[in-house]
Amino acid sequence: MVTNDAYAFDLRMRLFFIFDGVKFGVFWWESICHILADKKTIR
C-alpha cells in the first residue's frame, strides 16, 4: 500500500513537471518566433 501511494505520487509529480516543461517550452518557442518575425520585418 505504501509503495503504491509513493508510486502514484511520483507519477503525478512527473506528469506535473512534464506539463510544466511543455508550457515553458511553448512559451519560449513563441517568443523566439516573434523575435525572428520582428527581425524579418525590420529588414
pLDDT tens column, 5-37: 888 889 999 999 999 999 999 999 999 999 998
pLDDT of 38 strictly over 80: yes
**What is the Cα–Cα distance from 7 to 33, expressed in whole angstroms?**
39
Mean pLDDT for the chain overall: 87
Helix or strand holding residue 1 (H, E): none
What global pTM score does this model have?
0.50
pLDDT of 43 strictly over 70: no
The domain ranges of the chain are 19-43
